[in-house]
Structure 1
Amino acid sequence: MASSQDAWYLALLGLAENFRTLSPPNIKLCIQCLQAVFTFKPPPRVEARTHLQLGNVLLTHTKNIDIAKHHLEQAWRLSQMINNAFDDVKFEAASVLAELYEQQKQSNLSKPILRKAIELSQHSVYWHCRLIFQLAQIHATEKDYEVASSLLGVGADYAHISNACYTRVLFLLSKGMMLLTMKKFQEVHPLLSQAGMLIENWQGNPHQKEYLKVFFLVLQVCHYLMAGQVKSVKQWLKQLQQSIQIIMSPTWPTDDVISGSSVGDMFLWMPKEHLYVLVYLVTVMHSMQAGYMEKALKYTDKALTQIEKLKIVDTKPILSVLQLMLLEHIAMCRLVTGNKSLALQEISQAFNVCRQHPRLLDRHRPQLHTLLGLYAMNMNCMEAAELQFTAALNTSQERELWTFANLNLAIVYLRAKRDADFSALLERINPETLQSHSHSLRAASYYVRGLQSFFQARYNEAKRYLRETLKMANAEDLNRLTSCSLVLLGHIFLSLGNSRESMNMVTPAMHLASKIPDVHVQLWASAILKDLYRMSNDPNRENEAYQMHCNYSQMLLKDHFQSTQMPEHNLIHWTEGAIPNITGNNHPPSTSSTIM
């Protein structure tokens, strides 16, 4: 029979829960009932649990963060003194308190709590795994990927010993994600192979198998895309799209069913609605690398619409991360298709997402500088482009982004006839010694060398580089690089007076560019075609090519002028510090009308 103290406590707890679950809830009375428990000087187990409940209620329903933190600290302190089974209060208090410290950018306080809780929780499979995931996430957020990867490896071993088969694969795949982030491709391959075998031989819950399969396939697709292997990834991407359709079907059970009935397997990487958006994102990434811009635009629209729907009821940061990455990719697509003003709007939207989530600005600053550099190049604002690419290089430690920025910076120097600056950069973009795992970036570096040789009228050397680009681009269906190389070869043959070979290059370049569609290559190709038809005394086709060239020029000039009038155009001058206010007009717009 409960003591009178227990009776008072249970009565007050019942009242508090009643007030909390009213519609609408009466949080003030709920908090008063919980606070009243302390007036009866309850035993430590009751006091600790009440502090935890108060902390959770205050965090969820009020802005009294400091008071909530005080109660959670008390719950964590008291629960450690209780020797009997008091796991839920002890470890929940540690987890929630660590999360609160993390939100307040006090990871120096959150990490010791989680380490202590992990040490104490080895007998509790669920909490031990959950706390390891949480600590690994903090280290990953701080870009301490080595420690995060090591923790996830410990988690995988512990889950294996504890017979938590599903969670073991989750740990392995999460470690694979860290290794991909660190570009440790040699270590990723065996780990993904191990996880793939475990999933293939899965004998348990079929829904868990499909869920793990989606996580595995996302990593496989990202692995290939990071290596610039657009053609090789197609089979994996197709499997991923089929798997996500199964998960999103009306007959698929809720997420709590997927996470399993076993206490050690009650985890999800991310909800299926988030997975759905993620699959859209990797599809956009593939479409863009392959040079299917319209396909990329279509999937981006669908993904952004889905994010807006989810954001109405879901405020998880991952949605903003996915939204930002989609906006970055779609802005690049717009630049290729000649829509600079739309690209500028999407870059501005990306900045707005970063304003709402300052941590995202820290992580994506190099990508934003790179985007602005690409936009400035398209606007022929070469000084601004150089500043932006330099800012990207100064703020990034990511090898592939460095290579991408350097390749574009090299084109800026070529177009500005700054041979000395190009030569200084040459070692960093030399395809023979390129420090990059990406097939597509190495192919692009051959193209830039070909472009340099073309500008120096070393045509045979240019042809050698461009044929290497074509060989690599065709091997992995890199359509945009193929079209650029073909049109440049066409220009070279025209310069050499070989009109037949020039036509053999420019015609497929034009066809491919129209499929992408790449307006800049179409503009370039139509100019060459005009000259070729004039040389072959074909006035009708010459006139057609001339009209085509005029249409592309007018379209690009109109868009160019429209972009210069937008206040967002001033973003090209931002290289450091906080995001600028772009509603003003602090800088005069560019007056350049040169497109090529």
Structure 2
Amino acid sequence: MSLINNNDNQSCYMALMSMAEEFRTQTPPDMRSCVQCLLASLNVSTHPAIEAKTHLHLGNILLHFTTNLDKSQSHLEKAWYLSQSVPNCEELMLESASLLAMVYEKKNEIQMSKQILTKAIEESQHWIFWHSRLLFQLAQIHANEKEYLLASNILSIGADYANMSGAHYTRILFLLSKGMTLMIDRRLTEVHPVLSLAGQLVETWNGNLQMKEALKVYFLVLQVCHHLNAGQVKSVKPCLKLLQQSIQSITAYHSEDDYVNVNPNDMFIWMPREHMCVLVYLVTVLHSMQAGYMDKAQKYTEKALMQIDKLKAVGNHPMLNTFQLLLLEHIAMCRLVMGNRTLAIKETVQALQICYGDPKLKIRHKPLIHALLGMYAMSMNLMDAAEAQLATALRTPSACTELRVMTSLNLAIVYLRNKREKELNDLLAKLNPETLPSVSQSLKAAAFYVLGLNSFFQSRYNDAKRYLRETLKMANGEDLNRLTSCSLVLLGHIFYSSGNSRESMNMVTPAMQLASKIPDIHVQLWATALLKDLYGQFGEQSRQQEAIQMHHSFSQMLINDHYQASQLPEHNYIHMANGEDLNRLTSCSLVLLGHIFYSSGNSRESMNMVTPAMQLASKIPDIHVQLWATALLKDLYGQFGESSRQQEAIQMHHSFSQMLINDHYQASQLPEHNYIHWFDSPDAE
């Protein structure tokens, strides 16, 4: 009888697992039914190893396809504890630990995540793949917590372990990841030897060709970023060209199935190749922007954003949000240079909305978004708002050194335009190019330019020329076209003010040519203002008329764009320097985006928008957004099979609805309510 029961149990279990797999792999996947089958299989008496594996599957699905982290944690903890007591379940145990660490990290239980990974690393010494994977995961958590020294030490351990284990591809990945961590931590003297060793190993590695090209892309991306961080726009060109060639080689491969003859311990892909394409577009945008090729930056941004939209339609990987955010931030800066403030403020606010969908992104990018709002306000001649935004960016702890310098330089210009001499002098004392905390050549050149601009406004023309020549020397050395054009037109203005019209013309003419190439509408406006007077002095009437027309055209473009930008709802964000003041606009935008995604059938993306909208609305509190959000959440939780959360959302929605109905009735009974029917003041009657 016992044998028959065992056979029946096994048949029942296999049937449920087959159904679960069928639901999981159908198009579109039916994860709710899949989970129900897996849960049902737990009621069938099976071997503890099979039970542990079922809990692992459930935890994995709940982690990746629902927002119910508590249930995912419960199943993964059961898998973790069961697998430790069953022989020959080491891989199951290690996978459970890896997934459980992800759950703890998502719940912000960072210490728990570190503890279970440390324990699993101790248990995985003889499992090369899992030991390496767990080391990568622990290093990532330390890096996310800005514990870069610990992260780089773990990556060093991983590189040594992979080398001793014969996993040479994985060793290179550890070294490249260490190089990236050192760059983030600004331990720049240690970066070069690590990247040099990694580069040599990439060249001599004789493994799978597609994996080798992927390693080259990783290495070259780090090389390009290392040069760009130092403001070496010209020096980076050979690396950037090699990077673009490597990504073309990778995209020539037909599928991910090209991974053949690969060491099973080297089965790591640092980034999917579709994401690599976006990353190469992104670093090309960064280079184009620093070099002053705004049209090129705009072209590659559009290509990258189109690629991101395609990838998001398949699955919204968190890395795509980071790429999209970086692209929006940088293209917004390009738009300001090109005089398109209307698009700049829209893209800045779009970046802000992405931040509010991910708390970590919000912390990391908040200072840059405030700086962007400040620069936008500067372009709109709203200096008080600009000062408030830039000051907020500087007060934000997560602002990096380069951003602080860039923001301070812009704030110095605000003080200069507002004639705030004391604040300006105090700030300029910290912006001495010789002692600047940044290694960036472009920021040092920009600091010389701001000093030159200040000297010009004080009519200290010799000092101004000295500073601007330093800017030109550095800018010409690294092809920093925008700084070159700004310096040339300012030098032209100085010579014009000194009565040296010939020398002024020699400066303004190339400034205008460069500004047209960028294009930089502000330098073009400035240059044509000088040229129309200079051509008049030299009696060149046809050229003078041409300059007058061009100046009028640039002026009208800026006036029209100024008006259009000022009418946008996004324009109001400049008056909200305190991050908390942004919450209402952000919550409204997020819940509307959530509704749009819901109407389009994209429930997962809808949930990603509505959840933070609800959190923000509760914090304000804004009952209208709460009502709207709970109306969506009750349907979304229903779709995801989260019955308890669905009931909670239904109750909350009913509560908010009743509060508004009751308040509506009470307000309508008040004598003051009748004032809404008066079109003049009561005294007018």
Taking structure 2 as the reference length, the TM-score comes to 0.82
> Which residue type is aligned with residue 432 of structure 1?
E
Is residue 203 of structure 2 the alignment partner of residue 219 of structure 1? Answer: no
> Which residue type is aligned with residue 66 of structure 1?
D
Spell out the pairing of 1:231-246 with structure 2 (5 A cutoff). Answer: 231-246=234-249
**CA 1:63–1:518: 2 relative to 1, 3 Å:** closer
**CA 1:493–1:60: 2 relative to 1, 3 Å:** closer
> Which residue type is aligned with residue 83 of structure 2?
S
CA-CA distance at 1:521 after TM superposition: 0.2
Residue 263 (structure 2) aligns with: 262
Residue 178 (structure 2) aligns with: 175
Structure 1 residues 130-189: Cα deviation after superposition (integer angstroms, max 9, x where no partner): 111111111222222222211111111111111100011011101111111112211111
Structure 1 residues 433-462: Cα deviation after superposition (integer angstroms, max 9, x where no partner): 111110110111111111111111110111
Residue 530 (structure 2) aligns with: 528
> Which residue type is aligned with residue 232 of structure 1?
S
**CA 1:553–1:166: 2 relative to 1, 3 Å:** same
> Which residue type is aligned with residue 364 of structure 1?
H
Is residue 213 of structure 2 the alignment partner of residue 210 of structure 1? Answer: yes
Residue 380 (structure 2) aligns with: 379
CA-CA distance at 1:231 after TM superposition: 0.3
CA-CA distance at 1:427 after TM superposition: 2.3
Spell out the pairing of 1:146-545 with structure 2 (5 A cutoff). Answer: 146-249=149-252, 252=253, 254-255=255-256, 257-258=258-259, 261-395=262-396, 396-545=398-547
CA-CA distance at 1:534 after TM superposition: 2.1
Percent of aligned pairs with the same amino acid: 58
Residue 576 (structure 1) aligns with: 578
SS at match of 1:356: coil
CA-CA distance at 1:539 after TM superposition: 2.8
CA-CA distance at 1:476 after TM superposition: 0.3
SS at match of 2:215: helix
Residues of 1 paired with 2:493 and 2:10: CA distance? 85
* Structure 1: tracts of 5 or more residues without a match: 585-596
SS at match of 1:163: coil
The more displaced of 299-308 and 558-567 is 558-567
The answer (yes or no) to whether the contact 2:20–2:38 under 8 Å persists in 1 is: no
CA-CA distance at 1:257 after TM superposition: 4.2
> Which residue type is aligned with residue 268 of structure 1?
I
> Which residue type is aligned with residue 21 of structure 1?
E
The answer (yes or no) to whether the contact 2:208–2:262 under 8 Å persists in 1 is: no
Residues of 1 paired with 2:371 and 2:36: CA distance? 53
Residues of 1 paired with 2:168 and 2:557: CA distance? 58
Structure 1 residues 494-552: Cα deviation after superposition (integer angstroms, max 9, x where no partner): 01100000000000000000000000000001111112122223333222212211111
Residues of 2 paired with 1:233 and 1:5: CA distance? 70
CA-CA distance at 1:367 after TM superposition: 0.8
**CA 1:341–1:239: 2 relative to 1, 3 Å:** same
CA-CA distance at 1:56 after TM superposition: 2.7
CA-CA distance at 1:33 after TM superposition: 5.0
The more displaced of 327-336 and 22-31 is 22-31
Residues of 2 paired with 1:28 and 1:401: CA distance? 46
Residues of 1 paired with 2:560 and 2:66: CA distance? 52
**CA 1:411–1:259: 2 relative to 1, 3 Å:** farther
Aligned with residue 77 of structure 1, among 78, 81, 84: 81
CA-CA distance at 1:80 after TM superposition: 2.0
CA-CA distance at 1:45 after TM superposition: 2.5
**CA 1:369–1:3: 2 relative to 1, 3 Å:** farther
**CA 1:60–1:297: 2 relative to 1, 3 Å:** closer
Residue 142 (structure 1) aligns with: 145
Aligned residues: 581
Residue 102 (structure 1) aligns with: 105
Residues of 2 paired with 1:112 and 1:37: CA distance? 31
> Which residue type is aligned with residue 387 of structure 1?
A
Taking structure 1 as the reference length, the TM-score comes to 0.93
Structure 1 residues 47-69: Cα deviation after superposition (integer angstroms, max 9, x where no partner): 32232233234445555442232
Is residue 24 of structure 2 the alignment partner of residue 21 of structure 1? Answer: no
**CA 1:6–1:264: 2 relative to 1, 3 Å:** farther
**CA 1:517–1:346: 2 relative to 1, 3 Å:** same
Q: Which has the higher contact order (CA 8 A, sep 6+)?
A: 1
**CA 1:64–1:223: 2 relative to 1, 3 Å:** closer
SS at match of 1:550: helix
CA-CA distance at 1:211 after TM superposition: 1.1
Structure 1 residues 408-435: Cα deviation after superposition (integer angstroms, max 9, x where no partner): 1111111111111111112221111111
CA-CA distance at 1:208 after TM superposition: 1.8
* Structure 2: tracts of 5 or more residues without a match: 589-685
